[in-house]
Amino acid sequence: MELARKVQADLLPPSNSTLGGLDFAAACVPAWQVGGDFYDVFTTNQDHVAVVLGDVAGKGLSAALLMGMLHGALRSMRWMETPADQEISWRQLNYLLSTRTAPERFASLFWGSYDREAGIIRYVNAGHLPPLLMRRNGNGMCKISRLEEGGPVLGVFPTAIYHQGEVAVQPGDLLVLYSDGIVEAANASEEEFGEERLCGIIQENCARPSAEILDEILKQVRAFIQEVPPQDDMTLVVARIN
């Protein structure tokens, strides 16, 4: 288990860096020694920046093994520009998981590609909690958009169809990806942290650097659950368009 934990940690990119116009901070806190959550930030073959967050059903070593397979498949696939090519890639990935894993092993996944020149994020959301896109309006308040376009979770329906969405972004916009371990973290009264609290923290701190926003979210989640051990992996990616 300790070896598996080290291998899993080595798969993750730096937790705080700048890449292709994105300043990002990330954290993955497994509930056990190893977990089924993962994130990735890397440059695609079109020199765009991909931002990924996935959540494999279950915990422990079996979930970690499927996470490693999914992580490798994402890195090796040739992500195309057009929506049609993108959707073909997703159908292939879904078919791979559907035919190579047990029915109870599936994964939710968000994949976004930031095109700095066009000022666009193209994305597919495969059954994952919608990432939050924060931007300031004319009154200086942060407006929230949710990136929901995509399809079902991966690995359940072999012939599922996926659709690519896109959203225009500007310098200063903030993108927050998170796993259900954040919003479903529960305290001793079995009250969940919830998306409303998460949005409130981001709105209150949206002018701060990505790393500070991430630290503030994790700090408040831990303060909320207090001594209750986390029941699920907690993963976050906070990315600023610069």
Domains along the chain with CATH numbers: 2-241 (3.60.40.10)
Residue 151 pLDDT greater than 90, yes or no: yes
CA atoms within 13 A on the CB side of 41: 23
Which one has a higher pLDDT value, 42 or 15?
Answer: 42
pLDDT at 87: 81
pLDDT at 48: 87
pLDDT tens for each residue of 21-36:
899 999 988 776 556 7
Average pLDDT, the chain: 85
pLDDT at 11: 65
Lowest-pLDDT choice from 108-117, 123-132, 228-237: 228-237
Which one has a higher pLDDT value, 19 or 129?
Answer: 129
pLDDT tens for each residue of 206-231:
889 999 999 999 999 999 999 888 87
Mean pLDDT of 1-26: 73
Distance CA 25, CA 213 (A): 9
pLDDT at 73: 78
- The residue assigned the tokens 């990432």 is 131
Residue 205 pLDDT greater than 80, yes or no: yes
Alpha-carbon distances of 186 from 21, 58, 104, 191, 221, rounded to whole Å: 35, 18, 24, 5, 9
Mean pLDDT of 184-204: 94
Which one has a higher pLDDT value, 141 or 39?
Answer: 39
What are the two backbone dihedrals, phi and then psi, of residue 210, each rounded to the nearest 5 degrees? -55, -45
pLDDT at 59: 64
